[in-house]
Structure 1
Amino acid sequence: MSRFDPSEALARLSEEYLQRAAALRRDLAREHEHDSVEQAQERQNDDVLRGLLIEAEAELRRVGLARQRLAQGRYGECQRCGEPIEEARLRAMPAAEYCLGCADQE
């Protein structure tokens, strides 16, 4: 297994969420059809896009907080119990805030 670099993992994740949010904003800014049936479907699609944008922005904030913890030397420390978060969990979820035991309690 390769060495885990949290800074690199968080940077990649941040870029991914930034790109996703930008694409969603572009899609939401497009013009709607004038046909009322098409327009109704597009408005429903916009609701889904807005939900996805909210999720992307929330994940971007979580990544930002993880980057702050990394800068403060607290990355990988459970925000609830203070115990170390397992490396396998951090590899899978670089912005994880909680160890597996505390995450199950959420």
Structure 2
Amino acid sequence: MDTWENEARAALLQRRSSLRGLLRETLVEAEGLRNKRAADPVDESVEARAEAVLERLSEREQRELKDIDDALVRIAQGHFGHCARCGGAIGRHRLRAIPEARHCMACSEELRR
């Protein structure tokens, strides 16, 4: 495994650990909101909005966790750094910025359109 792959792996593992901690905190906070339901309709609407935000955050974070886990698998299998679409190199600068990236810049831009 190259040094840059080791760097990417370390960054991915650190981000995964942070996200898992944040998800745990989010779930605990959402559960606390559910347990503190108030009879006041205003409080209930604020609580409902808070829970909706927490759920959206956890969905986004869960997607990011999946992307990180997929990248760790690619490292283990020796496919890290290759675009899933065209097979070309993703580029070290991009991987340093976004270690879970699946696509090179060109394919990423095409997919966004």
The answer to whether the superposition gives a TM-score over 0.5 is yes
My pick for the range that moved more, 45-54 or 32-41, is: 32-41
Contact 1:32 / 1:39 at 8 angstroms: preserved in 2?
Answer: no
Residue 95 of structure 1 aligns with an amino acid whose one-letter code is E
Partner of 2:57 in structure 1?
A: 52
Partner of 2:27 in structure 1?
A: 25
Inter-partner Cα distance in structure 1 for 2:107 and 2:22 = 29
Give aligned pairs, total: 104
Inter-partner Cα distance in structure 2 for 1:78 and 1:97 = 6
My pick for the range that moved more, 3-12 or 62-71, is: 3-12
TM-score, scaled relative to structure 2:
0.86
TM-score, scaled relative to structure 1:
0.91
Q: CA deviation at 1:32?
A: 2.8
Give ranges in structure 2 of 5+ residues lacking alignment. none
Q: CA RMSD in A?
A: 1.2
Query: What is the 5 A alignment of 1:25-104?
Result: 25-30=27-32, 31-34=35-38, 35-104=40-109
Residue 19 of structure 2 aligns with an amino acid whose one-letter code is Y
Inter-partner Cα distance in structure 1 for 2:49 and 2:36 = 12
Q: CA deviation at 1:16?
A: 1.6
Indicate the structure with greater helix content. Answer: 2
Taking only the aligned residue pairs, the percentage that are identical comes to 28
